[in-house]
Amino acid sequence: MARTVVPEADAIIGKPFKVLDRGFVMLVDYMGGDSSIVQAARTSYGKGTKKKSDDEGLIRYLMRHGHTTPFEMVEIKLFAKMPIFVARQWVRHRTASINEYSLRYSLVDECFYVPEPENISAQSKSNRQGREGLLPSAEVDSFRKDLENTSKEAYANYIKHVDAGVARELARALLPVNFYTQWYWKTNLHNMFHFLKLRLDQHAQFEIQSYADAVANITKSVAPVAYSAFEDYELNAVRLSSKEQRALQNTVNGTHSVDEAVKGTGLRLDNQDGIRMKSGEGIEAVSKISGLIRK
């Protein structure tokens, strides 16, 4: 049986997709594509007995109904360079094989991340792990200057102590998490889609969203039909609980406002003092339903 070849994927192997100021993502290799998903789902079929439209319909059926195993037949291997704090978020996706650049064995390059001014925001008041809102330009400039100076000073100290004989595995503790690391990362398409669903989300940190954008473009080249189905049924889909469905129905019927419909299901929108909540299941329900109505 011949190896599955995807010309669009072959065309980008070894091509770095630039991310942030000094990072990138690169396709190193892949195994399989859309045809591999179809082949696995049908187990065995005669060549030429199915139309392309039939294959696309099958892939969309599999995605729509949560049949994940056929998507595991496709694997994607990436080489990426990213800030350490991005890598620590990325590595939480445990369904991948990873081999990272060793700071115990090798010297660190003076390569660190300083965000662009437009990507420096205030602490979010509704999301404890996010950022939103403008900062005074003086504070933005001060932060960028301090981050650059701190990084340069840390690197100078790192080199000083390495040269003095301190073990690299200890000296690396001097370096902040905005320094770049790099790794090989290999996963199957099912787990890739899970990674992308979480990291392309608007609530994900900007920096890892940027890497997810690059990874999405690579994934789309390897399995375009499967990626289109993922966009329709996962990435851009809205999941509604039974309470949210009732609230949506009452809103569509015109019998309730969105707030009234959500409150009618027993979900709370206000604190005990009567002040509207900043987060919670009810607030999320209002956001979902309002978004669906606007569409």
Residues with a catalytic annotation lie at 199
162 φ, ψ (degrees, to nearest 5): -65, -45
Helix, strand, or coil (residue 200): coil
Phi-psi region of 150 (alpha: psi -120 to 50; beta: other; left: phi over 0): alpha
User: Sign of dihedral through CA atoms 252, 253, 256, 262?
Assistant: negative
Spatial distance between the Cα atoms of 158 and 206, rounded to a whole number of angstroms = 29
Burial class of 11 by CB neighbour count within 10 A (0 to 12, 13 to 18, 19+): exposed
Q: How many residues does the chain have?
A: 295
Spatial distance between the Cα atoms of 43 and 63, rounded to a whole number of angstroms = 17
What's the token pair of residue 168? 């690299």
